[in-house]
Amino acid sequence: MTLLDSVILGVIEGLSEFLPISSTGHLILTSAILKLQQTEFLKSFEIAIQVGAILAVVVLYWRILLVNFEILRRIGVAFLPTAFLGLIFYRLIKQYLLGNRMVVLWAMFLGGIFLIGFELLRKKKKNEGAGEDLSLIPYKQCFIIGLFQSIAMIPGVSRAAATIIGGMSLGMKRKTIVEFSFLLAVPTMIAATGLDLLKSAPHFLAGEFYCLGTGFVVSFIAAIFSIRFLLNFIKEHTFIPFGIYRIALAILFWGVQ
């Protein structure tokens, strides 16, 4: 991997992390376009680089993360299912699923159909763009959202899509679950990255750390724009365009294989 590769992947990660299109899936497909070999470092890079994007959430929502303990408790409850299942299935996911293009493409395609179907079947509520108080979300709902997030351990599913659909299916307003999804990403991705680096970092070469650091910084900058875009987008739009995009991308990659 070159520094240019890490810049490209950093941009892709930052732009896609918080959109319901799967950042991990996009990193895997972009790596294929760049003809990067699916080494253990690349797999770790695709996990760890997401912390750069997560830092954007910390910067934009630092007040909540520092002082609102009611919201932090709810984030902690939602994080539990992924933490538990992630520890159990970490080795299986990294060895057999991460880097598997067919898994990504099918997850992209089926996820796009599900996203469109969900939006078409769901009646749009009045003032759906207005947010609710995150500190009042019932703990049971938080845990269920965490279960939905766990599905995204499959590359291509999209952590954002899983949590957003989970929250909206429970009756949460669009802006509320989108912001909760942002915040839930913080412990989720820090834990995933910490676990992976603990096992893999001792085997990295010096140049690989430079690539990882470059991707981290670039993804942080790109994620700032992505978060602001999504918050504005959901005021007037559903997630159907993202579903169409997912289906089109999967078909395109199937066509060129």
> Tens digits of per-residue pLDDT, 152-178?
999 999 999 999 999 999 999 999 999
User: What is the predicted pLDDT for the residue at 197?
Assistant: 84
User: What is the predicted pLDDT for the residue at 170?
Assistant: 92
d(CA 175, CA 139): 18
d(CA 109, CA 243): 8
> What are the Cα distances from residue 25, in Å, to 114, 136, 209, 236, 240?
17, 33, 22, 27, 19
User: What is the predicted pLDDT for the residue at 218?
Assistant: 95
For 113-136, the pLDDT digits (tens) are 999 999 998 865 544 544 578 999
When pLDDT is averaged across residues 208-222 and rounded to a whole number, the result is 92
Q: Report the alpha-carbon angle 71-77-82, nearest 5.
A: 125
User: What is the predicted pLDDT for the residue at 129?
Assistant: 46
Domain ranges of the chain: 3-256
pLDDT band at 110, cuts 50/70/90?
Answer: very high
User: Residue 192 above 80 pLDDT?
Assistant: yes
Q: Which of 5, 21, 15, 6 is nearest to 229 (CA)?
A: 15
When pLDDT is averaged across residues 82-110 and rounded to a whole number, the result is 87
By the 8 A CB rule, do 242 and 21 touch?
yes
Q: Which two tokens stand for residue 63?
A: 């007040």
When pLDDT is averaged across residues 29-49 and rounded to a whole number, the result is 89
User: What is the overall mean pLDDT for the chain?
Assistant: 90
Percent composition of the chain: helix, strand, coil (DSSP 3-state, to 5):
80, 0, 20
Amino acid identity of 48? A
User: Residue 6 above 50 pLDDT?
Assistant: yes
User: What is the predicted pLDDT for the residue at 167?
Assistant: 94
By the 8 A CB rule, do 42 and 24 touch?
no
CB count in 10 Å sphere of residue 140: 10
